[in-house]
Chains A and B, each alone.
Chain A
Amino acid sequence: MAHGPAKGISRWLFTTNHKDIGSMYLWFSFAMFLLGGTFALVIRMELFQPGLQIVEPNFFNQMTTMHGLVMVFGAVMPAFVGLANWMIPMMIGAPDMALPRMNNWSFWILPFAFALLVSTFFMDGGAPNFGWTFYAPLSTTYAPDTVTFFIFGVHIMGASSIMGAINIVATILNLRAPGMTLMKMPLFVWTWLITAYLLIAVMPVLAGVVTMMLMDIHFGTSFFEAAGGGDPVLFQHVFWFFGHPEVYIMILPAFGIVSAIIPTFARKPLFGYSSMVYASASIAFLSFIVWAHHMFTVGMPLFGELVFMYATMLIAVPTGVKVFNWVTTMWQGAMTFETPMLFSIAFVILFTIGGFSGLMLAIAPVDFQYHDTYFVVAHFHYVLVPGAIFSITAAVYYWLPKWTGKMYDETLGKTHFWLAFIGLNVTFFPMHFSGLAGMPRRIPDYNPLWADWNMISSIGAFLFGGAQILFLYIVIRAIVSGKKATDRVWEGSHGLEWTVPSPAPYHTFTTPPPKEDMQSY
């Protein structure tokens, strides 16, 4: 029964094992994280001082665009899929993902998608330079020819995400061990189930909008070309109908991770399990009816503005429920502060700050002053970096001993946390101020009025970037020479994944686990 992995490179090329594929997703996303981070550092170098020093304005635009695309589609999304691959079968007592060959395929098309996208740097016209939101007609009629490569890259990423999502839904709905009822599933499984439905709903919309661009560019249609009777605002409606659920795709699995880690280190069950499930589902539903809050300044009629403003404000309610639940989970626990817990607590605090600025941005009349300024940049980095990145980092520290059978160095882990935490706040907190003081986003040069905050942001960015190199070192060091981990790993850990040995054998749960091991916690 116990087949081991194949030898050499074929293990990775042809594998259908959820653990191997999960690892490949995670390493790939870390590589993309460093690449996207490098683009960010070029941006921060140019903005260190007013004036043009390092790059041309056009190349600056390529940097902002590629930073966004690589981070969203290359770093955050594949990292969550990697975690899902590793953890979902182990959390629900399944032997593997439901569709293992498709699993291999959905990973292996990703490197090609990004090779296509990044290759545009070396072509005439350069990489995409129209922002990660690629508003038409800047991204169609006025785009460099390389936009076609971008379109095909996005098509492939979309196909990969849709396949990954279908696989996750099929796995969760069909492969749960007997006794693992829906309301006993760990929240990470729940939030991923909801996320997968969001992906299946909106990735085709993204594919549709880039296909319409392709048609406009090469086949003479005028979907988004006003001169041909088309509508540039239509582009934004379609894009954000994808884009807003997309931002929840990048945060819902994070909710699941934090809901696993906080109870472990508070040694106390998650407060309000079922309300957490319902809140996640409400957030997912609301994500479909708030998209136009990204477009308050396009000149929608008053009624439209009001509808989208009210719907957006409503999101604060289920999100608040989640935050209150986490805080109450900590309340009267017996907490210890290992690295995963530190990242999770920082997640709750900083994500809440991002939520506050989100509430401010929801107020349409005031959004006219915030829109497209650094205040928005501060807002979405506060929800994405402590939200997605910190939760993924927490997840890696939390489950690494299970994956590798080795412990990471706790002191180094805590050092990584504090460097990243300080770096993040030094980078992004001042952006609230430069934005409120009137600095638009996506500009390579600016009035000296905003010079001081920008200089601080740039220093913080290098600190944050450096902290990630330390992260890489900590993980490699743990794999190479970490101390042996126990099966339970953490004193307060609960769930099926902790009932298997560390490192988790190549095949787990070939026979279903006993029912007594399954309790919602």
Chain B
Amino acid sequence: MLITCKRSLALLFATSLMLLPAIGFADGWQLNMTEGVTSISKEVYKLHMTVFYICCVIGVVVFGAMFVSMFLHRKSRGVKASNFHESVVLELLWTIVPALILIVIAIPSTTLLKKIYNTDDAEIDILITAHQWKWQYEYLGEDVSFFSISSTPPSQINNEEEKGEHYLLEVDKPLVIPVGTKVRFLVTAGDVIHSWWVPDLAVKRDAIPGYTNEAWTQVEQEGVYRGQCAELCGKDHGFMPIEVHVVSKAKYAEWIGAKKDEVLAIAEASKKVLELDELMATGEEVYNTNCASCHQADGKGLPPTFPAIAGSAIAMGELSGHLNRVINGGAGMPPFGEQLTPVEAAAVITFQRNSFGNDMGQLVQPIDVVTFKQGQ
């Protein structure tokens, strides 16, 4: 299949007078859409190829006629121009034949679109909420909710380190779904419009504030499938990947169980009192993952859009103001209250108040965060 498709693409190349670059079709030279791993994605691929082949045939006829004409009907061959310039029969013919071809294409397209729109009878519902620039996954009815952020280190992006295989297509916490199960995605956004796209699932749905869009998938093959945000959503649009792990049903049950235990463990950890060095170490990590893309690793920000942490009135001011900004967001910054655990929030606030030349000498404990949230 892949070989025929490469051949026909090469044909299109030729018809457009494009010289094929001398290439060996290694991994980096992927030419075509993925067939994907769901029945829908395979049908999408088939329809894509059908329309493509129809275009190729039309192309060969039209361009063929042009090239014959350019070769035969040139003045340098001493030909005399004809004078015909009208034919109702021809005009009707090339109106009706394309219309018929379109009907042939429209029928399978309609059938497939209906299937894609049928979100009934899903066994699992997952609410996907897009934020600048991360995804939040909430397993409805399971009390499991987490954020998923790019895990590609800045050193790779800034070319200080070699890029990994899944560069910009890897996350800290992937979406996990069971194999052979119909999963419904409810897609929305908290700030601007994003779009959740995983090519192998042939699912692309815009995440729009105020809307909850529906999509579904049923993956028949265990594995890791990757995608990206597909709608321009601001500065880090290119840095909000998606990673879907499709696992056996047993593994999925195990994973959901572990996720629920995590919730309990976080509540337990929030009661602990931590030392300065513990808070600073965790805080730096949290800062680099969550804050550095805007406020920069050196804390100097990118003013005026992204203010500096160094010497900031908030980081150097009242603790309640700092807690409020981190937990509730504001002035263009998204809220982090849901995303960060109390330990992480306390750590990052401590870190910000005691780094980049900020010298508050103040420790913030997880319990402070919990109290602040309860007080709202």
Contacts and interface: CB of A to CB of B under 8 A. Distances in A.
Interface in A245-285: 266-273, 275
From DSSP, what is the main secondary structure of chain B's interface residues?
A: mixed
Interface string B335-375: 00000000000000000000000000000000000000000
A51 B84 CA distance: 58
Given A142-B234, A317-B95, A453-B29, A302 B113 contact: yes
Nearest to A456: B21
A321 B304 contact: no
A137 B33 CA distance: 31
A302 B117 contact: yes
Interface string B26-47: 0111111110000000011001
B202 interface: yes
Contacts of A353: 12, 16, 59
Contacts of A273: 85-86
Interface stretch (B135-143, B172-180, B193-201): B193-201
Given A299-B206, A327-B62, A336 B232 contact: no
A364 B75 contact: no
Contacts of B193: 135, 137-138, 232
A440 B230 contact: yes
B33 A436 contact: yes
Interface stretch (A4-12, A52-60, A503-511): A52-60
A371 B113 contact: no
Contacts, number: 302
B73 A298 contact: no
B76 interface: yes
Nearest to A364: B113
Contacts of B82: 268, 332-333
Contact of B70 (A137, A321, A330, A368): A330
Interface in A492-518: none
Contacts of B95: 317, 320-321
Nearest to B332: A142
A220 B206 CA distance: 26
B258 interface: no
B304 A61 contact: no
Nearest to A137: B192
Interface in B1-26: 12-13, 16-18, 21, 23
Given A51-B158, A272-B85, A425 B18 contact: yes
Given A272-B85, A310-B106, A366-B47, A360 B55 contact: yes
A58 B302 contact: yes
A369 B192 contact: no
B213 interface: yes
Interface string A354-370: 00100110011110110
B169 A333 contact: no
B209 interface: yes
Contacts of A356: 55, 58-59
Given A142-B234, A445-B168, A369 B44 contact: yes
Interface in A320-357: 320-321, 323-324, 327-337, 345, 348-350, 352-353, 356
Contacts of A364: 109, 113
Contact of B83 (A50, A141, A269): A269
A451 interface: yes
A349 B228 contact: no
Contacts of B99: 317
A369 B202 contact: yes
B203 interface: yes
A138 B157 CA distance: 25
B146 interface: no
Interface string A28-62: 00000000000000000000001111001110010
Contacts of A306: 110, 113
Interface stretch (B235-243, B275-283, B310-318): B235-243
B260 interface: no
Interface residues of A, number: 102
B130 interface: no
Contact of A131 (B27, B203, B232): B232
Contact of B113 (A305, A316, A359): A305
Contacts of A275: 91
Nearest to A442: B232
A57 B239 contact: yes
A365 B234 contact: no
A195 B139 CA distance: 51
Contacts of B169: 447
Given A125-B305, A231-B210, A360-B52, A267 B157 contact: no
Contacts of B267: none
Contacts of A321: 91, 94-95
B163 interface: yes
Given A359-B55, A433-B31, A365 B238 contact: no
B98 A50 contact: no
B81 A448 contact: no
A446 to B, nearest CB: 6
A449 B235 CA distance: 22
Interface in B189-233: 191-193, 195, 197, 199, 202-206, 208-211, 213-214, 227-233
Contacts of B269: none
The contact size tier of chain B is: 35 or more
A373 interface: yes
Given A356-B55, A364-B109, A445-B238, A271 B85 contact: yes
Nearest to B74: A335
Contact of B116 (A313, A333, A368): A368
Interface in A433-491: 433, 436-438, 440-453, 456
A309 interface: yes
B329 to A, nearest CB: 13
A330 B73 contact: yes
Contacts of B28: 448-452
A320 B98 contact: yes
B23 to A, nearest CB: 8
B69 interface: yes
Contact of B16 (A298, A349, A446): A349
Nearest to A434: B30
A137 B209 contact: yes
Nearest to B26: A452
A299 B128 CA distance: 15
Interface string A305-319: 110011001101100
Contact of B81 (A135, A267, A299): A267
B65 interface: yes
B48 A366 contact: yes
Contact of A330 (B55, B66, B76): B66
A445 B239 contact: yes
Contacts of B105: 313, 359, 363
B202 to A, nearest CB: 6
A447 B166 contact: yes
A105 B122 CA distance: 61
A273 B86 CA distance: 8
Contacts of B58: 356
Contacts of A129: 234-235
Interface string B97-129: 011001001100110111011000000000000
A190 interface: no
Interface string B237-271: 11100000000000000000000000000000000
30 contacts: A61-B232, A125-B304, A125-B305, A138-B234, A142-B332, A232-B210, A268-B81, A268-B85, A269-B85, A271-B84, A298-B206, A309-B109, A314-B102, A321-B91, A321-B95, A324-B62, A331-B69, A332-B82, A334-B80, A335-B69, A337-B74, A356-B59, A359-B105, A365-B44, A366-B48, A369-B199, A429-B16, A445-B168, A447-B166, A456-B21
Given A57-B236, A321-B95, 13 more contacts: A51-B157, A58-B235, A271-B86, A272-B87, A297-B205, A302-B113, A324-B62, A334-B75, A350-B16, A365-B44, A371-B195, A442-B232, A446-B168
* Closest 7 pairs (CB-CB, A-B): A226-B210, A443-B238, A299-B213, A437-B30, A356-B55, A226-B209, A334-B81
